[in-house]
Chain A
Amino acid sequence: MLKVENLTAGYGNNIILEDISFSIENGERFVVLGESGCGKSTLMKAIVGLNPPISGNVFFKDNEIIHPLPENTTFYKEIGILYQSSALMTSLTLEENVMLPINMHYPDFPLKNAKDIACEKLAMVNLYQHRDKYPQELSGGMKKRGALARALVMDPDIIFFDEPQAGLDPVTARDLDMLFIKLNEQLKTTYFIVTHELLSIKRSAQKVLMLADKKVLFFGTFEEAMQSDIYKVKRFFNVDKYGK
């Protein structure tokens, strides 16, 4: 599904990540973890092209993604992104937000059908009743679910999640995780989750990539990570035991 080879990324002369390589299989819940500031979000932004990589290759469904992407690229129709801030358009209702990708890419698509699809996705995330509300009228958890509905609307092959639990209470965060897992099992969409929330990682991770000191510190299944002998990995999962 997604393959990254020798990727180096950063901002200007400031290199954040060096020589990162990994691959993700279809339908996998892949979690990128690490301490704050280790480059998790930078990796995501490099892959999706918000901050294109300095060097290295990214392959999506066996095609190389070279930024800037050509006019007729289908890449952005095949991915969905859930941002830390939800990034719903504040001037549009929830339903209009979810319909937005359809309206933009297919302006001649009947509005009624676009609405129907948007409502289906909103029902999936239990927000159908709130479809006429504006983002500022929703709670943090509802905004995240709304953003998930928008990310799902084009039936993407992969969804990128940037710190999805940030700013949520543990109960809402758990509910959100359960919803993510349910939808992943139902739709078989690949998940690329950037997070450092331990509970969330334990609930949802199938494969993990841990970043530290600009490099990949660990790459493997969640079970392997839990049994890893690498000190920083052990410390991450048992911070009370190992401390600083």
Chain B
Amino acid sequence: MITIKIPSDINFENAMSVYSDISSQISENEEIGFDMEGVVLNSITKALIRKICVEHPNKICIDEELKKEVFYAHDDDSRFDEKEPVDPEPFIESLGSRIYALYGKILFFFVIIVDMVFYSVEFLFNRKFVLKHDTTRNAYQIGYKAIPIVFLLAFLIGFTIALQAAIQLAQFGGQTYIATMSTMIMTKELGPLITAIIIAGRTGSSIAAEIGTMVVMEEVDALKTMGIKPFKFLLVPKFWAVTLVMPILTTIANIAGITGGLIVSTIYNIPFGAFISQMLEALLMKDIFWGTVKSISFAWVILAVGCFKGLNVRGGADAVGRATTESVVVSIFMVVAIDALFSIILYT
């Protein structure tokens, strides 16, 4: 039997080199013992000895005392026992469970939409379960505070698009059409879309975070056990707030985008009067109406997604963060998808 001296100063830095040294001393046929004199059994030393013992189970001779120190006992409480390994679910069953779970989620999403609309209409006749002035407070937060960013973004996008279009149109002498193009593109598509994307980023995320935090902090449970309907308490003020402010914000976005076009047309020496008369010609009531309808439906979808993601939060702060991000991504995707659907229905 050979006795290997264990160094007394093993730490995380030198552990691997110590391990190599010890391994090189282990020969094929001889049994091994350890000289532990002066060794402090810190975590890394114990781990090293365990590693050697596990790798050479038949060669190591260590006394029972050391064994007890080095090897840790597994929990003896049945609650912490390792469970029998479960066979993985067969593919078809696993697929079925996933589809079933997805079906449940889709159903819940539609329940939220139906409840949101139902309670919002019911609120007109029954003010129970909604805080006074909550709609005004929400309208201020969602609408008034978003005006600068909506205006700025719509203006910049309107300006950029008009500029790019003007460069191309100028080649054919058609720069006079900037007004028509700006007006049509903003009222039909970009006005509602830009507003919805901003609202998804600002409001959708904040709704998901607010409701998610309320779920984590048991506030939603508290509402239920106070006999208050959480859907009505949380969603109705926001529903009416977005329904009122979205058309206004969309109008602001339209004005800002067309103003961007106006500035480009001034650069291209188009008279102000000509721009206005072309704009009025291109401004159709039908487009304004459908733009408003689109903006309201975008707002409802953003609200429902934020609520859905918030109510599905399970866990802590990280889950709230995830829900917030997901709500923005899903909202924007759904807004663009619905916009495409509207375009197909209205313009084909």
Contact = CB atoms under 8 A, between A and B. Distances in A.
B225 A81 contact: yes
Nearest to B79: A37
Given A37-B79, A81-B222, A83-B222, A104 B217 contact: no
A196 to B, nearest CB: 15
A83 B221 contact: yes
A85 to B, nearest CB: 5
Interface string A69-85: 00001011101010111
Given A37-B79, A85-B218, A87-B219, A104 B128 contact: yes
Nearest to A108: B127
A103 interface: yes
A105 interface: yes
B218 A76 contact: no
Most buried by B among A37, A50, A104, A111: A104
Interface in B208-259: 210, 213-214, 217-219, 221-222, 224-228, 233
The interface size bin for chain B is: 20 to 34
A178 to B, nearest CB: 24
B19 to A, nearest CB: 37
A107 B126 CA distance: 9
A132 B130 CA distance: 21
A50 to B, nearest CB: 5
Nearest to A135: B217
A87 B222 contact: yes
A180 B129 CA distance: 29
A133 B147 CA distance: 31
Nearest to B219: A87
Contacts of B127: 107
A101 interface: yes
Contacts of A172: none
B132 interface: yes
A90 B217 CA distance: 10
Contacts of A91: 210
A89 interface: yes
A100 interface: yes
Contacts of A2: none
A103 B225 contact: no
A166 interface: no
A4 interface: no
A1 interface: no
A48 B221 CA distance: 10
Contacts of B226: 76, 81, 100-101, 104
B108 to A, nearest CB: 16
Contact of B218 (A49, A79, A83, A104): A83
B97 to A, nearest CB: 13
Contacts of B222: 81, 83, 87, 89
B213 A76 contact: no
Interface string A87-107: 111110000000011011101
Given A37-B79, A90-B213, A90-B217, A79 B131 contact: no
B225 A89 contact: no
B132 A103 contact: yes
B225 A50 contact: yes
A50 B224 contact: yes
Contacts of A76: 224-227
Contacts of B131: 103-104
23 contacts: A37-B79, A49-B224, A50-B225, A73-B227, A76-B225, A76-B226, A81-B225, A81-B226, A83-B222, A85-B218, A87-B217, A87-B219, A87-B222, A88-B219, A90-B213, A90-B217, A91-B210, A100-B226, A100-B228, A101-B228, A104-B228, A104-B233, A107-B132
Interface of B: 79, 127-132, 210, 213-214, 217-219, 221-222, 224-228, 233
> Which 7 residue pairs of A and B lie closest in terms of their CB atoms, listed nearest first?
A76-B227, A87-B222, A87-B218, A107-B127, A83-B218, A104-B228, A81-B225
